[in-house]
Amino acid sequence: MTSTASRTRAPRRRHGKLEPLYYVFLIPALVLFTGFVVVPAVIGIFYSFTDYLGYGAWSFLGLKNYTTLFTDPNILQSYGFTLGFAVVTVIIAQVIALALAVALTRRIRFAAPLRSIFVIPMVISGIVVAYVFSFLFSNTLPALATSVGFGPLEQSILGNPDLAWLSIVIVSAWQTIPGALLVYTAGLTSIPGDLYEASALDGASSWKQFRSITMPLIAGFIVINTVLGVKGYLGAYDVIVGLTGGGPGTSTSSVAMTIFSGFTGGDYAYQMANATIFFIVTILISVIQLIATRGRAVRL
């Protein structure tokens, strides 16, 4: 009888070569990835060195689009907003998600139904969520603030250049917390209960257990959530479109919105250069995150 270990071993090789069946699955995936991802990306990068409008003739400009990017105030503003928004939102979302995960993994009543409820925001379309919250921020919240006499919120924060970004942070965090919650829950449930029992016998408090046991053992999960969170927030688009449309003015215009507006507004080559720079920035941020957190994950 074939053992489980033998059924899950590495793919069989014939004289050092993989069986033809594996190429049947590999080659179509490579062809689709190359045709729909690699080739369009290479073509787009090529056009970033031209004055192409998205249609018609074009001429080669060299690095002119790239040098202009670094002095364009709208581009610099979009990068500043996007990076600041990503940092603030990932911190808020991870802290809340971890706190909820710790609470829901304790022996409390209705833990399972609560987990199901908290996951709901993850399955709702971002644009739908944005429009619902837009109504709340524009109507419900000002009405409540007026009824209690709280002046700062009597006007919609969506129309305030200094506060509109808060609405985007709130909605983005609300939508992404469930995914982080699931990851943290998986990490917390993988920690043996014996560790907590032994530390309790040694007189460790709940905070001491969290700091010395929980945090080190879920460090890898924190890294995963942080990297995925930053990546997702850097590409924020639908929530911003539904809430503020990039306004007031361009105060909440993200890099993704700026790039897309250029594609549809006859500024294809310039925004393709912007997209290329943004891709490099995203890769660098991800690499820096991984290097900074390397070796901090503790395995059982």
In this predicted structure, the answer to whether residue 110 has a pLDDT above a threshold of 50 is yes
User: What is the 8-class DSSP label of residue 13?
Assistant: E
**Taking the domains of the chain in order of start, what are their residue ranges?**
73-293
**Packing angle of the helix pair 164-189, 126-135 (nearest 10 deg):** 130
Q: What number does CATH give the domain 73-293? A: 1.10.3720.10
| C-alpha angle 96-98-100 in degrees, rounded to nearest 5 | 70
User: pTM, whole model, 2 decimals?
Assistant: 0.81
CA separation, residue 231 to residues 125, 191, 210, 260 (Å):
18, 27, 28, 18
Instruction: Measure the CA–CA gap between 296 and 298, rounded to whole angstroms.
Output: 6
pLDDT digits (tens, 9 = 90+) for 10-38: 555 555 566 777 888 888 899 999 999 89
Q: Tell me which of 2 and 238 has the higher pLDDT.
A: 238
Across the range 154-161, mean pLDDT stands at 86
- How do residues 35-94 score in pLDDT, each as one tens digit? 998 999 999 999 999 988 888 888 998 899 999 999 999 999 999 999 999 999 999 999
Does the structure show a pLDDT above 60 at 1?
A: no
